[in-house]
Amino acid sequence: MQFQRNNLSNEELTAFYKKLLLPRMIEEKMLVLLRQGRISKWFSGIGQEAIAVGATLALQPDEWILPLHRNLGVFTTRNMPLHKLFMQWQGSENGYSKGRERSFHFGNKAHHICGMISHLGPQMTIADGISLAHKLKREQKISLAFTGEGGTSEGDFHEALNVAAVWDLPVIFLIENNGYGLSTPTHEQYRCENLVDRAKGYGMEGVQVDGNNILALYDTIKGVRDYCIQHQKPYLIECTTFRMRGHEEASGVKYVPSHLFEEWKEKDPVVNFEKYLLDENVLSDESINSIKEATKNYIETELAAGFAAPSIRVDTNKEIKDVYADKLKMHGNRSIVQAIDNSKPGAYAAAGNTEARFVKAISDGLKQSMLQHPNLILMGQDIAEYGGAFKITEGFVDLFGKERVRNTPICESAIVGAALGLSLEGFKVMMEMQFADFVTVGFNQVVNNLAKLYYRWQQHADVVIRMPTGAGVGAGPFHSQSNEAWFVHTPGLKIVYPSTPIDAKGLLIAAINDPNPVLYFEHKALYRSISGHVPEDYYEIEIGKARVVQYGEDISIITYGNGVHWALEYAAANKDLSIDITDLRTLLPLDYTAIKASVTRTGKVLILHEDTLTGGIGGEIAAWISEHCFEMLDAPVVRCASLDTPIPFNIELEKNFLAKARLDESVQKLLQY
């Protein structure tokens, strides 16, 4: 192995050696503890340390790194105290994730490390967002995302590299090619000769480097970093190395030919560097021994402190509270917005109103939010000059420029990930899904990255995703779905779903002001069919608060979205009935107080939604009512929902599919009970 010190001093080389040795010695200790049954699981990076350490040394301490499960060297080189790391691995309350995350699945803003989720690839897209933040702030910084060669087969790898190239983002994608993805060898993983060859296909530079040579890595990554900053471009680095142990310690290495271990043992990154430093007279046997002794003592002392951590105290309230970031804390210094409480019929009647369509109310709320928050970035397909598929952002480019109103390539997963990256660097993001249906290709990022981030390591995800949803326009199975229930099941998200222009504007403003990830469902059929009074002010409608549309005595209809208009239409056509209508407005969290109040008023409840019946939110509400309002009920709770089929294209079939077709039947069933 050829080492070139370039102009590194003896002190610097010694410091590098110490940084390289530390993760090796920690790991060796971990293997002992594992055998003793004192720790549970371990993903070893033995033999690959030079990559994590070299990369971290080549970056500035305030540049984000997005490491994976074998990158202990990133955490130690960023000087995270070992006792706290150890507490993290033990699931201690005093670790970095309060016992909520395993091994390296955590991040820490102070150390500029963004933790992985198990799914590997999504990390790379977050790096895009961080680098976009640096670019927008004109900072001379990069971010660096790790991936294994296995992870390069994921769609997120492709999406992340493509976005970085198209947007000229200063980001380094680093492939740690260690020969195996669990048991899968490289020839079953990809067909190109070298993974770095892919760089050209994305329109970026790439380089392959010996991943066991810390000086080559340091020098290469430092140079690449300079390039990325100077040229404002991404870069792909492939580091060749080998996984010297099993995928994780319990899984063994039977599938790896033993000669490979012999060959790669010769290339051990620590042993070879040590030998080089001896040959160069930078270190002596004596100094090496004393460094090892000091490292051993440090590890023992820190482990003792780690083991001394008190057992976890389980506190359910704290667990539930920590799913969402506190709004006041996050936005203590923002200007006060007017809060409108129109939760009761006729409650809001202020001067200065204009009559606006649903679509304009959304657009106005977004525009005012852009004026209010200079750090708010909009991203979505065709939202810039074209104005978006539904023209919500028409004219926005002229007002706010293309940096803040960003067209994206067609890659929902990468854009949700990039939104999260922007949020890590203090931006707010509104992403427009062109149709709510397309969230499926960004699903992982929404439910695993956005939703769980705050609970996992107390970092908020300040992202709103607008979801043009719903049927009624003959658009068929992939442009008409109601998919809100998929997300209602995911703690960490907030789900809002306005049905009127006044709520559409106020809820969007509230969603953007909220530091948590909010999915904002807007029904396409309402865009241009519904108008109403909308205050010109900048105001919020409170998230989590339902609205009584009208009071009644015979039956309650609890609904949201287009269901509100079906219920109103039905009530208008059946004046002999006294129907109590509640518009939920927010589906997560649900306004149980308002639900209970409606049950109390009538004792007969119909839950109406456009979503299909099985697994829809109606089931959840019905269960809650039967559990908490049983004595008030005069009939079983009835659900009226769309058919349990995909949404058909033919308009007659679609009409038959929609819940509205069975509304009268459902009401009659309830009345006649």
Ligand X SMILES: Cc1ncc(C[n+]2csc(CCOP(=O)(O)OP(=O)(O)O)c2C)c(N)n1
Active site (catalytic) residues: 479
Cβ atoms of 215 and 55 within 8 Å: the answer is no
CB of 248 to ligand X, least distance (A): 8
Segment contacting ligand X (CB under 6 A): 114-122, 252-260, 263-271, 274-282?
A: 114-122
* Cα–Cα distance measured from residue 469 to residue 465, given in angstroms and rounded to the nearest whole number: 12
Nearer to ligand X, 247 or 545 (CB): 247
- Is residue 417 a contact point for ligand X (CB under 6 A)? no
Best CA proximity match to 69, nearest among 91, 50, 42: 42
CB of 457 to ligand X, least distance (A): 18
Nearer to ligand X, 178 or 562 (CB): 178
Segment contacting ligand X (CB under 6 A): 93-101, 118-126, 327-335, 569-577?
A: 118-126
Nearer to ligand X, 98 or 245 (CB): 245
- Is residue 268 a contact point for ligand X (CB under 6 A)? no
**Which neighbouring-strand residues pair with 540?**
339
User: Binding residue for ligand X (CB under 6 A) from 19, 24, 70, 479?
Assistant: 70
- Is residue 178 a contact point for ligand X (CB under 6 A)? yes
Secondary structure class of 466 (helix, strand, coil) = strand
Helix axis angle for 269-279 and 214-231, nearest 10°, is 100
Cβ atoms of 496 and 511 within 8 Å: the answer is yes
Write down the H helix ranges in 266-308. 269-279, 285-307
CB of 320 to ligand X, least distance (A): 27
DSSP string, 85-116: HHHHHTT-TTSTTTT-S-TT---BGGGTBPPP
Which residue shows structure tokens 């970031």? 325
Nearer to ligand X, 123 or 343 (CB): 123
Residues written for the chain = 673
Nearer to ligand X, 247 or 505 (CB): 247
Best CA proximity match to 127, nearest among 344, 536, 378, 422: 422
Nearer to ligand X, 181 or 552 (CB): 181
Which residue shows structure tokens 């539904």? 390
* Cα–Cα distance measured from residue 446 to residue 414, given in angstroms and rounded to the nearest whole number: 11
Site mask, ligand X, residues 128-167, x = CB under 6 A? Answer: --------------------xxxx----------------
* Cα–Cα distance measured from residue 396 to residue 521, given in angstroms and rounded to the nearest whole number: 21
Best CA proximity match to 481, nearest among 666, 658, 660: 658
CB of 608 to ligand X, least distance (A): 38
Segment contacting ligand X (CB under 6 A): 3-11, 77-85, 179-187, 549-557?
A: 179-187
CA 491 to chain centre: 13
Q: For residue 357, give both structure tokens.
A: 């369509």
User: Binding residue for ligand X (CB under 6 A) from 54, 99, 107, 181?
Assistant: 181
Q: Which helix (H) or strand (E) holds 534?
A: strand 531-535
- Is residue 306 a contact point for ligand X (CB under 6 A)? no
- Is residue 118 a contact point for ligand X (CB under 6 A)? yes
Nearer to ligand X, 44 or 272 (CB): 44
- Is residue 23 a contact point for ligand X (CB under 6 A)? no
- Is residue 423 a contact point for ligand X (CB under 6 A)? no
CB of 49 to ligand X, least distance (A): 13
CB of 37 to ligand X, least distance (A): 24
- Is residue 119 a contact point for ligand X (CB under 6 A)? yes
Secondary structure class of 214 (helix, strand, coil) = helix
Cβ atoms of 441 and 451 within 8 Å: the answer is no
- Is residue 251 a contact point for ligand X (CB under 6 A)? no
Cβ atoms of 518 and 358 within 8 Å: the answer is no
CB of 68 to ligand X, least distance (A): 6
User: Binding residue for ligand X (CB under 6 A) from 50, 66, 74, 120?
Assistant: 120
Nearer to ligand X, 175 or 224 (CB): 175
**Which neighbouring-strand residues pair with 429?**
377, 463
CB of 543 to ligand X, least distance (A): 32
Residues near ligand X (CB under 6 A): 70, 118-120, 148-151, 178, 180-182, 243, 247
